[in-house]
Chains A and B, each alone.
Chain A
Amino acid sequence: SQTIHQWPATLVQPVGSPLSLECTVEGTSNPNLYWYRQAAGRGLQLLFYSVGIGQISSEVPQNLSASRPQDRQFILSSKKLLLSDSGFYLCAWRKTGPYEQYFGPGTRLTVT
């Protein structure tokens, strides 16, 4: 069966510090991968998606970047965090078939 992991689970970082969030998927190959941010107001905002190694599409211009160094690894990064980067970051992968996405447990980021 497939599982998706995210770490860390929670993170408190000062403004201006770098960021690296990691997402890995087990039990599948060549998945589509997605990064979302969920702000306090609840809605999900798609940040990046990837259809393969080294292939990243950005949905929203921002302070963040993403990379996919391996087939089942997706990394969200920032060189300098802003207060507005605070939120709940969710990674998801897509299964072949009816396009449904499966989500990881999320990372709660607080920028102070």
Chain B
Amino acid sequence: GEDVEQSLFLSVREGDSSVINCTYTDSSSTYLYWYKQEPGAGLQLLTYIFSNMDMKQDQRLTVLLNKKDKHLSLRIADTQTGDSAIYFCAEKIGGGGNKLTFGTGTQLKVEL
């Protein structure tokens, strides 16, 4: 199957770290992605990780990949109110068209 699962909601206090989790089922996925969607807008690519990596860090963002458990996470350090959005993980799946399968999205709410 090609299901990607995420928890629906996450609430954190401003300044704390946020960890958004994702599980996927396609063990042949070569790339995994994190996107951010603000209300009424399109999806913005935040970062991606190649499947032969365990971790990738980009400023406040840290991506961890556990291939054995098919688990991907996004950690946002020093979370700000501007980080409030829906976060989607996605995996590249096989077949033609270089398609991505997206998770259901996690709504992150940052409270003061």
Residue A15 lies at the interface, judged by CB distance under 8 Å to chain B: no
Residue A109 lies at the interface, judged by CB distance under 8 Å to chain B: no
Which of B11-19, B20-28, B39-47, B67-75 binds A?
B39-47
Contacting pair B97 A102 (CB below 8 A): no
Main secondary structure of the interface of A (DSSP, over half): strand
Q: Which residues of A contact B (CB under 8 A)?
A: 6, 32, 34, 41-44, 46, 49, 51, 57, 59, 90, 92, 94, 98-106, 108
Known: A98-B50, A100-B31. 16 other contacts (CB 8 A): A32-B97, A41-B104, A42-B107, A43-B102, A43-B103, A43-B104, A43-B105, A51-B96, A57-B97, A90-B42, A98-B48, A99-B92, A103-B44, A105-B41, A106-B40, A108-B40
